[in-house]
Structure 1
Amino acid sequence: MGGTEHLTVDRQGATLVLTMNRPEAKNALSLPLLVGLYDGWLEADADDGIRSVVLTGAGGDFCAGMDLKALAGKGMAGDQYRDRLKADPDLHWKAMLRHHRPRKPVIAAVEGYCVAGGTEILQGTDIRVAGAGATFGLFEVRRGLFPIGGSTVRLPRQIPRTHALEMLLTGRPYSAEEAARIGLVGRVVPEGTALEAALEIAERINACGPLAVEAVKASVYETAGMTEAEGLAAELVRGWPVFDTADAKEGARAFAERRPPVYRRA
């Protein structure tokens, strides 16, 4: 199991929990954190025993974005990881889910600050739970910067354009309640319970057929830019093979026998 000094990895049953662990900096993105995140996505993809991923932050915050001190030229922790970045100059974008989409469902458990790069990573997750005290926002324009983690493309596709543009162009903070109202997150829970709620969602996913879950996720994303006719045709290509699997037969058999199914990814 991987991890770095700024990213901890924990296995809870069939769920991989990735915790951004730099609480003294509100989990601002560092090189060790980015390397740890990318390695975590790769581990989830490679291990068929992992059926879901939960992404969260330590110390009461999710992620406050890029380390602005490093951006100002004051150095970034983790020089020992620079060879990884040289070998794969795209690593940071993959870590932030800009250029990589895990095949397993990713659930974000957000507490505290989830701003700038934190809100950008959030847009790469599939299901989002926020504690009532969470704060969201894309603050880049306030610093004369551009939210280059994908927000000008993704955000207007995920929430109404008027809300996306207000968030992008004002750089103001959003409460958890407002983030839920505009559709940025799906659920708001009492402060301090986001991880618990995310793990409950993960357990529900883990109880489902993994081949079906992964095919459904893939279909949702690959048809997003298609016309309805194209999307429906692509859905059949993804969906029909699932019905021929042993897992599909096991699901039907377990239902008839009134017992929990035992799926084997077959």
Structure 2
Amino acid sequence: MTETTPSIAVRRDDHLLTITIDRPEVRNAFDSATSHALDRALDILDDDPTLFVGILTGAAATFSSGADLSALARGDRPETPGRGGFGIFRRPPIKPLIAAVEGFAVGGGLELCLACDLIVAGSDAVFGLPEVRHNLVASGGGLFRLPKRLPYHLAMEMALTGAHYTSRQLSSFGLITHITEPGQAMAGATELATRLLSNGPTALAATKEIIFRSMGWSEAEAWDKQIPIAARAHDTNDRREGLRAFAEKRRPLWTGT
């Protein structure tokens, strides 16, 4: 299945949904139309029980240069009522989403990566939060998500200098999940997605949600708050299938229900 808007292309391969930002003329920068298109694509991922994992990537060997500043100057804001900025920042998908990064992931492009759960990047990919250079503030989650993924002083340096960093530099601090040869990030992300797809899909979604939400919980709160989320995976056909497959020494056949 392939669905394409002027700015976002969506392709389905069995249980995997690949979403491609397709505005190469502006290095895949986001305007309002692109944000709404990504919002709709993530709804497809969340709402279809037969889709288990997503990959977010960019066309023409670059991920995203962030907000379309020309559109922003015209009053065109890259956000949606449901998911917020870029159609993802405030409410990422409930299912695992992998960023496949080539070229530049700067400004909102880096914040897109931070809204994903795993990041696979080419070795020559470049990341940064250059907003301060334009007297802008990185308000797409970068200023509070980045210090949770990197040492405080490095996150502060990135945000205050607006400097660019390579994927190899950031990988040493754990921000990048896997580094590939240039041009191979999508292949690496697909390989990683295949590993995820061997696992139970309702458990994948519940596991992601608990980890994501627990960043705002105390440990005392977490014991109780994880229970209803985990129950969504346990009270499913897939849990019963997983136990049967284990007993019968075969691969499980997941349905997402």
TM over 0.5: yes
Aligned 1:7-156 pairs, distance under 5 A: 7-73=8-74, 90=81, 93-156=84-147
- C-alpha spacing 1:13/1:246, structure 2 compared with 1 (3 Å): closer
1:34–1:92 CA contact under 8 A, matched in 2? no
> In the TM superposition, what is the alpha-carbon distance from 1:31 to its structure 2 partner?
2.8
> In the TM superposition, what is the alpha-carbon distance from 1:185 to its structure 2 partner?
1.6
| 1:193 alignment partner in structure 2 | 184
1:2–1:36 CA contact under 8 A, matched in 2? no
Deviations 1:36-71 (A, max 9, x none): 111101111111111111000000000011112223
SS at structure 2 position matched to 1:123: helix
The amino acid across from 1:217 in the alignment is K
> In the TM superposition, what is the alpha-carbon distance from 1:237 to its structure 2 partner?
3.8
Q: Does 1:180 align with 2:171?
A: yes
SS at structure 1 position matched to 2:132: helix
For 2:63 and 2:6, locate their aligned partners in 1 and report how far apart those are by CA, in whole Å.
16
1:44–1:104 CA contact under 8 A, matched in 2? yes
Deviations 1:224-250 (A, max 9, x none): 111112213323443356445332232
CA RMSD for the aligned pairs? 2.1
Percent identity between the two aligned chains = 36
> In the TM superposition, what is the alpha-carbon distance from 1:89 to its structure 2 partner?
5.3
| 1:247 alignment partner in structure 2 | 238
Of 239-248 and 223-232, the range deviating more from structure 2? 239-248
Of 212-221 and 25-34, the range deviating more from structure 2? 25-34
2:39–2:80 CA contact under 8 A, matched in 1? no
Any stretches of 5+ residues in structure 1 without a counterpart? 77-81
- C-alpha spacing 1:61/1:104, structure 2 compared with 1 (3 Å): same
Moved over 4 A (4+): none
Deviations 1:71-97 (A, max 9, x none): 334x86xxxxx9xx9xx8536725342
For 1:105 and 1:16, locate their aligned partners in 2 and report how far apart those are by CA, in whole Å.
11
> In the TM superposition, what is the alpha-carbon distance from 1:183 to its structure 2 partner?
2.5
Of 179-188 and 166-175, the range deviating more from structure 2? 179-188
SS at structure 2 position matched to 1:154: helix
Of 19-28 and 110-119, the range deviating more from structure 2? 19-28
